[in-house]
Amino acid sequence: MENTNRSVFGLHGVTGMLIATVLLLSILGVLTFFGLKAQQAVADKPYKLTDPQALKMRDPAGASQKVIVK
């Protein structure tokens, strides 16, 4: 049996590997870009606590005491 249909540069060979690598790196770049933008947007909006002495540990109502400083 002859092996004449090898196609090293087909989609299952080197070209396919390069396409997959470029695709994964571009997805990584886009997600990193959006992650940095989200962090910068949150860093520009600091908050302060209205009454830090009234906070209790593991109290879900404690989140209402945060005020975003403008």
pLDDT per residue over 38-56, tens digit each?
999 888 888 777 777 777 7
* Residue ranges for the chain with pLDDT beneath 70: 1-3, 6-10, 62-70
Q: Which domain holds residue 44?
A: 14-68
CB 66 within 8 A of CB 49: yes
pLDDT at 25: 98
Asked if residue 46 belongs to a domain, the reply is yes
pLDDT at 24: 98
Number of structural domains in the chain: 1
Residue 34 to residue 25: CA distance in whole angstroms: 14
pLDDT at 56: 74
pTM of the model: 0.58
First vs last C-alpha separation in the chain: 76
Q: What is the largest CA-CA distance in the chain?
A: 82
Sequence-ordered list of residues with C-beta below 8 angstroms from that of 10, at least 6 positions apart, any chain:
16
Asked if residue 22 belongs to a domain, the reply is yes
Asked if residue 54 belongs to a domain, the reply is yes
pLDDT at 38: 94
CB 27 within 8 A of CB 20: no
